[in-house]
Amino acid sequence: MTIRVSISTLMLAVALPFHAVAADIVVEAGEGAAERLQEALISVEPGSAVKIGPGRFDLTEGLSLDVDNVKVQGAGAGQTVLSFKGQTGAGEGLLVTSDKVVLEDFAVEDTKGDGIKSKGSDQITFRNVSVVWTGGPKETNGAYGVYPVASKNVLIDGVFVSGASDAGIYVGQSEDIVVRNSRAEYNVAGIEIENSKRADVYKNTVTHNTGGILVFDLPNLPVQGGHDIRVFDNDVVENDTANFAPKGNIVAIVPKGMGVMVMANRNVHVFGNRFDKNGTTHVLLAAYPNDYDDDNYMFVPRGVYVHGNTYGEGGGSPDGEVGKLISDISGTPVPDIVWDGVTRIPEYFSWVAAENRIYVDEAEGTTFANLKMISNMLLPWSTAPDTDIAGYKGSLPEPPPVKLPQDGGA
The residues of the shown chain that bind other proteins, judged by CB under 8 A, are 1-2, 35-36, 38-39, 41-43, 60-62, 64-66, 87-91, 95, 97, 111-114, 119-120, 139-144, 147, 149-150, 165-166, 170, 172-173, 218, 220-223, 246-250, 290, 292-294
- DSSP for 227-239, written as a single string: EEEEEES-EEE--
Q: Which run of H or of E encompasses 374?
A: helix 373-378
What single-letter DSSP state applies at residue 359? E
CA dihedral 2, 69, 117, 77 (to 10 degrees): -90
Question: Can you tell me the distance from the alpha carbon of 401 to that of 91, in angstroms, rounded to the nearest whole number?
Answer: 34
What single-letter DSSP state applies at residue 7? H
CB of 239 to other proteins, least distance (A): 20
Q: Where are the alpha helices (DSSP H) in 189-342?
A: 320-330
| Nearest to 342, CA basis, from 327, 328, 358 | 358
CB of 48 to other proteins, least distance (A): 17
| Alpha-carbon separation of residue 342 from 77, 202, 254, 257 (angstroms) | 44, 28, 18, 22
CB of 196 to other proteins, least distance (A): 11
CB of 40 to other proteins, least distance (A): 9
CB of 345 to other proteins, least distance (A): 22
CB of 395 to other proteins, least distance (A): 33
Query: 81 vs 218, which CB is nearer to other proteins?
Result: 218
Beta carbons within 10 angstroms of residue 156's beta carbon: 25
Query: 12 vs 34, which CB is nearer to other proteins?
Result: 34
Question: Can you tell me the distance from the alpha carbon of 147 to that of 155, in angstroms, rounded to the nearest whole number?
Answer: 12
Query: 174 vs 375, which CB is nearer to other proteins?
Result: 174
CB of 47 to other proteins, least distance (A): 18
Query: 299 vs 368, which CB is nearer to other proteins?
Result: 299
C-beta of residue 392 within 8 angstroms of C-beta of residue 360: yes
Question: Can you tell me the distance from the alpha carbon of 28 to that of 53, in angstroms, rounded to the nearest whole number?
Answer: 5
CB of 101 to other proteins, least distance (A): 13
Query: 149 vs 270, which CB is nearer to other proteins?
Result: 149
Query: 97 vs 387, which CB is nearer to other proteins?
Result: 97
CB of 219 to other proteins, least distance (A): 8
For residue 61, the number of C-alpha atoms closer than 13 Å in the C-beta half-sphere is 10
Query: 112 vs 127, which CB is nearer to other proteins?
Result: 112
Query: 119 vs 203, which CB is nearer to other proteins?
Result: 119
Query: 60 vs 134, which CB is nearer to other proteins?
Result: 60
- DSSP for 40-101, written as a single string: HHHHPPTT-EEEEPSEEEE-SS-EEE--SSEEEE-S-TTTEEEE-TT--S-SEEEEE-SSSE
